[in-house]
Amino acid sequence: MARRRTAAPACALACAALLAAAAAPAPEALADPVAATGPAPVRADAERLAGRLASEVTTAGAWRHLEAFQRAADEHGGVRAVGTEGYDASAHYVTRRLTEAGYRVRVQRFSFPDSLPVAQTARVTAPDPRDLHPLLARFSPATPDGGWRGRLAVLPGNAYGCGAADYAGDVRGHAVLARYGGCDLARKSELAAAAGAAALLVNVDQQPAEMNIRSTVRPPAVARVPTANLPRGEAERLAADAARGPVELFLDLRGRAVTTESYNLLADTPTGRADRTVVLGSHLDSATEGPGLNDNGSSAAMVLETALRLAPHRDQVRNRVRFAFWGAEEEGMIGSGHYVAQLSAQERRETALVLNFETIASPNYARMVYHGTGAVPPGTDTVEKVFTDRFARRGLPTVPLEFDGRSDFAPFMAAGIPAGGGSAGYNHLKTPEWQRLFGGTAGQLTDPCYHQTCDDLSHLDRTILGQFGDAMAWATARFAVDVSDVGAVRAR
């Protein structure tokens, strides 16, 4: 699950072009494959296959794939991030299992500009000397050679730093402390630089107090000042110290620009109409700070298990299913953005819908189904209803998850392709209402190990993993047979 930020350049350019394509006049409606028999028999066939696949896709099956992802991380530095051997090992495992099941796996390569940390050191030098634990933002400018020494300036009222008025105080030449959120990091960087700040420190404002998460300044060209995130506990202590008097800091924040090469994995059912392709996908990469077994090994494992269990039923597949394992989601949906950008206009029209899943094994979970408001592609509401109906049939309550642009559905929706799926939660704070519905602990994150080293196999919840696996299998099989009620199929 990508941290909220502006879209990566590759995705941003692609999405702009795709939005233009989506606005073009719609072609003639495709022929309806159920016209000869009527919709009822086809829907019955769809539900039969959906029930069969849902019973065959199991938590135990997905868990075996998760164990393989854990080994991939353990044997390669504790991460499965894009551009690492841990990612390659995960991809090799997925490829082998799909090939054994009879799929032909296609590797779709891409590259993108990236940034790696070289130094991320911060210390309070007075009045209470201590080390801090910053995470350098990707594409952050560097502090001067030998580091920077100076005073801390805390924005008033715990401000986000999203407006010029937030910097009206004495910030020139100082390191500014702002609150996370409110706007993208690029805007904070521009405003801090315009006010003459020497650096930007951001209170990541997460639970628990020691949790920190790396952010990204996008587009990189607007990065103006050295920028890093601090854990909430450290940031709040800094603010308290500054309220009593001057706080002196030392910062050494430096990164290195690189080009990262990566790839998506794609595998199609050998049967089914190519002009009504159903894409089931999840990202395979982890964040750079941990093994990513929930984010997003949980979803990738269940997508793989769904593909393996669907293989023996290929003769019942009427609409081609494309299983996708995206790379570089954590860098800004770059893999899925590349995939959509490479589709021809005809291929975009022939993509019936995309199913996308994120963090489906969160231990303090909420059962969330993607829900679109406003201008969403036609057919998105149909996809949502398939999921909510399936959960309701099993007596499992759900709550809506807005399409927030933080996962691989974003490039598809920008191209006018309907989307759906869900999540058990990432850095969502569980509310008392969610606690009543789902149990767990209110006031804590749904995934307290989000983008942390503790996002390992021991951290996952098997119950919610299985519930989402059932819904994923049901929806995949249902749409593999029948997409006649997905409005965009006729409209595009």
pTM listed for this prediction: 0.90
- Residue 38: pLDDT above 60? no
Are both 60 and 119 inside the same structural domain? Answer: no
- Residue 25: pLDDT above 80? no
Alpha helices in 245-379 (DSSP H): 299-310, 334-342, 345-349
Q: Kindly state the average pLDDT of the residues 281-299.
A: 97
Rg value, the chain, Cα:
23
Q: What is the distance between the alpha carbons of residues 163 and 436, in angstroms, rounded to a whole number?
A: 38
Number of helices (H), then strands (E), in the chain: 14, 14
- Residue 357's SS3 state is strand
The residue behind tokens 């910030």 is 171
pLDDT-based confidence at residue 158 (cuts at 50, 70, 90)? confident
Q: What are phi and psi of 323, to 5 degrees?
A: -90, 125
When divided into structural domains, the chain yields a total of 2
Q: What is the distance between the alpha carbons of residues 488 and 492, in angstroms, rounded to a whole number?
A: 6
- Residue 23: pLDDT above 60? no
Strand-pairing partners, residue 138, are: 216
Are both 54 and 189 inside the same structural domain? Answer: no
pLDDT of res. 236: 97
Q: CB 334: neighbour CB atoms within 10 A?
A: 33
> Does 431 map to a domain?
yes
Range of the domain at 183: 115-259
Are both 209 and 298 inside the same structural domain? Answer: no
The tokens describing 38, both together, are: 């009527």
Alpha helices in 177-230 (DSSP H): 185-194
Q: At what angle do helices 85-100 and 59-74 cross, to 10 degrees?
A: 150
User: Could you check whether the bond before residue 356 is cis, i.e. omega within 30 degrees of 0?
Assistant: no
- Residue 412: pLDDT above 80? yes
Q: Which of 234, 289, 305, 329 is catalytic?
A: 329
- Residue 4: pLDDT above 60? no
pLDDT-based confidence at residue 19 (cuts at 50, 70, 90)? very low
- Residue 178: pLDDT above 50? yes
Q: Kindly state the average pLDDT of the residues 323-343.
A: 97
Reference 177, options 155, 150, 156, 210; nearest CA is 155
> Does 108 map to a domain?
no
Q: CB 344: neighbour CB atoms within 10 A?
A: 9
Q: What CATH code is carried by the domain that includes residue 185?
A: 3.50.30.30
Question: pLDDT tens across 207-237, in order?
Answer: 899 999 999 998 998 999 999 999 999 999 9
Is residue 210 part of the annotated active site? The answer reads: no
pLDDT of res. 40: 82
> Does 109 map to a domain?
no
pLDDT of res. 69: 98
Residue 145 CA from chain centroid, whole number: 35
Reference 26, options 491, 481, 433; nearest CA is 491
Q: What percent of the chain has pLDDT over 90?
A: 87
Are both 43 and 183 inside the same structural domain? Answer: no
* Of 206, 236, 259, the domain-final residue: 259
User: Could you check whether the bond before residue 208 is cis, i.e. omega within 30 degrees of 0?
Assistant: yes
Q: What are phi and psi of 150, to 5 degrees?
A: 180, -165
Question: pLDDT tens across 454-491, in order?
Answer: 999 999 999 999 999 999 999 999 999 999 999 655 44
Are both 126 and 274 inside the same structural domain? Answer: no
> Does 264 map to a domain?
no
| Higher per-residue confidence, 343 vs 374 | 343
